[in-house]
Amino acid sequence: MSGKAGKILWDNLWTNNPIFIQILGICSTLAVTNSVRNTLIMTVGVSLSTAFSSWTLSAMQATIPRKVRMIVQVLVISFYVIIIDIILRAYLPEVSKQLGPYVGLIITNCIIMGRAEAFAAANKPVLSFWDGLTSGLGYMAVLVAIAVVREILGFGTLLGFRVMPAGFEPWTIMIMAPSAFFLVAFVMWWAKTVQARAAAKAAAAKSAPRPVPAKA
């Protein structure tokens, strides 16, 4: 179990990351990553929604008819997102006001339905919860990295605190959605290059002739 859990964590963070390998959840990557604070709230929301939706759908899988499985998936995902929205409105009204329509839009995040279809439909509830949570963490890691670059260069701040010198001229392009496209492409380039190098090294090590043991 722990070996499988470790593999799921590694897959979702690196070898099968939702952003740079599965290319899911790109819409929200473009929209929210110009502010680290909004990115953190959004990604925590997505992680929790994915984890709980996967857990619930996995627990229900034996009873769901194939014909309506997608309707049920959307129902369960919407349920958790609306619960998050209600909690924010009741206990964190300022955050709720700032995020506006983006909380509701978590429902349309492809990662949640993707994990429900690809993992929760064929695995046990606890493992599905873990898969959902770690998929959210993989998404969070990439989005926060992009948001740090965009907020520093776009506003000269990090989490609202000034980090660039007073004379720094903010890069307006970094505030706008197209800059996230460039940065996502850079992340994909970097990750694919590192993964391809590691694979080439492993293949070379496998095909290299083994040293023949000396005869006595």
Partner 1 sequence: MKKDSIVYVVVFTFVVCAAFVFFLALANEATKDRVAANRLFAERAAVLDAFGIEYSAPPEALEKYERFVKDQPVPEGAGAEKAYRYEADGKTFFAARVTGAGLWGSISIILGADAGVERLTGLQIVAQNETPGLGGRIDEAWFRGQFRGERIGPEGIRVATGAESRGTGDPDPDNGLLDGVSGASRTSQSMEAIVNGGIRALRAIAGGAR
116 binding partner 1? (CB under 8 A): no
**Residue 147: closest CA among 29, 20, 44, 25:** 29
75 binding partner 1? (CB under 8 A): yes
Burial, 189: exposed, middle or buried (Cβ in 10 Å; 0-12, 13-18, 19+)? exposed
For partner 1, what does the binding mask look like between residues 25 and 54, x meaning CB under 8 A?
A: ------xx-xx--x----------------
Q: What distance separates the 2 farthest-apart alpha carbons in the chain? A: 80
172 binding partner 1? (CB under 8 A): yes
**Residue 44: closest CA among 161, 141, 130, 114:** 141
CA dist 26 and 95 (Å) reads: 22
15 binding partner 1? (CB under 8 A): no
The helix or strand, by DSSP H or E, that contains position 115, with its residue range, turns out to be helix 110-118
Stretch of 18-26, 81-89, 117-125, 131-139 lying at the interface with partner 1 (CB under 8 A): 81-89
Q: Which is nearer to partner 1, 12 or 34 (CB)?
A: 34
Of 23, 27, 71, 202, the residue at the interface with partner 1 (CB under 8 A) is 71
* Residues at the interface with partner 1 (CB under 8 A): 31-32, 34-35, 38, 60, 63-68, 71-72, 75-76, 79, 82-83, 86-87, 89-91, 93, 97-102, 170, 172, 175-176
